[in-house]
Structure 1
């Protein structure tokens, strides 16, 4: 009985390997969807940095400046959820020439500014209150999810259009999608706010303009495999 079962198993495997694997005709294409948007908000990271010989004094001075900065931010009527302490550090630094330790205290605040018309007022006030390092200013859209959805749909439409272009000369048609891969990466330009300086104006009361917002691109990239009919 065992010999019979073994013989049947070998016969089945031989038949299986002898059969040709049926290939499914398909086409692989990439698609990109891009939506251009004028940013309406910004995430700003700023730092107070203080240096000195005494760790306690350096930390105290830094805390006092941060306290003034936070009071100013609150006066700007920003929601409490829109600003937070991102990083606090106190580090010793050895001066090899003088052969002694100095100390460097830093505190970083991250601010979400939802009204860009307040940008100049906010940045100038932060510097006046003690901010001496502006890390990043990232412009973005409050409707990011909506624009990402639009970009994805455009990417899929472009992928299908590409596939149809390729197979149109072959007398074939594009069928259903076999696989879809999302290759999107979110990217925002990060301009560094240079300095609180603008060209002198004859009218001192004229509004200041230090921003050139331009547009940001919300982009989606996909790879799609379509069956050919």
Structure 2
């Protein structure tokens, strides 16, 4: 009997504690922080694509074009760590109507341009030496971690300010944070104004041109915070 009474007492205490926890005055809000930055570098993904009926010949031509592209990149004094082969492929293409097989060879390079003033010169060189497909141009900041930290701090300040606005009419104060959740999406920021694709015609290569508007990138942080009310 005593054992039963002890169990009941423990259950009642646990229930009371749970009720007390539920009755704690608190407020939950979301906070957003945003930092706008002018990008200072770009990552280019570009491909040399070659087609033909002989697999060996197609691969040979593709390799020759890629070699010329790499030589051009080296002449621009890019750091060896700033460019690499991303993907190499040789695929058969079967034409069911003609009942013939052709081959498609591709090599994709990833190049980091840390000085955007070299962007146009590099693009012209890539196309003139054999690149025939620009897959993507992504503008970035070399100080991304720094700006992400700033965005997180701004998000927390925004959350606290919202909480203070809500409770200001109640005669209460915002106390310590009970829970903090980071809801920021894990993605790379994109430029507000994206790159305009360069012309493939090389007739005006001698004339300096600007073919990209880098704009700015937005780095955002989103948090959910629960504050204790005093």
One fold, TM greater than 0.5? yes
Contact 2:37 2:218 in 1 (8 A): yes
Distance 2:152 2:10 in 1: 47
Deviations 1:40-99, CA, capped at 9 Å, x for gaps: 100000000011111111111111111111111101100000000001111111111211
CA distance in 2, matches of 1:161, 1:24: 21
Partner of 2:124: 124
Partners of 1:137 and 1:193 within 8 A in 2: no
The runs of 5 or more residues in structure 2 that have no matched partner are none
What aligned pairs does 1:43-82 form with structure 2 within 5 A after superposition?
A: 43-82=43-82
Q: Distance in 2 between matches of 1:122 and 1:16?
A: 69
Q: Secondary structure at the match of 1:21?
A: helix
Structure-2 separation of matches of 1:48 and 1:129: 10
- Kindly provide the CA deviation profile for residues 134-167 of structure 1, in whole angstroms up to 9, marking residues without a partner as x: 0000011111111111111111111100000000
Aligned partner of 2:11 in structure 1 is 13
Matched, 1:37 2:37: yes
Map of 2:113 onto structure 1: 113
Q: Distance in 1 between matches of 2:88 and 2:213?
A: 32
| Contact 1:136 1:193 (8 Å CA) reproduced | no
Paired residues, number: 224
Is 1:211 paired with 2:226? no
User: Which residue is 1:226 aligned to?
Assistant: 227
Note if contact 2:51-2:58 (Cα within 8 Å) is conserved in structure 1.
Answer: yes
Structure 1 gap ranges (5+) = none
| Distance change >3 Å, CA 158–CA 19, structure 1 → 2 | closer
Moved more, 136-145 or 15-24: 15-24
Structure 1 distance, partners of 2:34, 2:16, is 49
Secondary structure of 2:106's match? strand
For residues 207 and 90 of structure 2, the distance between their equivalents in structure 1, rounded to whole angstroms, comes to 42
Structure 2 CA distance for aligned equivalents of residues 192 and 92 of structure 1: 33
Secondary structure of residue in 1 paired with 2:81: helix
Please, which moves more after superposition, 70-79 or 22-31? 22-31
With over 3 angstroms needed to count, the CA separation of the structure-2 counterparts of 1:55 and 1:174, relative to structure 1, is same
2 CA distance for matches of 1:146 and 1:46? 29
Q: Give the distance between the partners of 2:132 and 2:87, measured in 1 at CA.
A: 15
The CA deviation at 1:219 is 1.0
How far off is 1:188 after superposition?
2.8
Structure 1 range deviating more: 110-119 or 186-195: 186-195
Shift of 1:212: 1.4
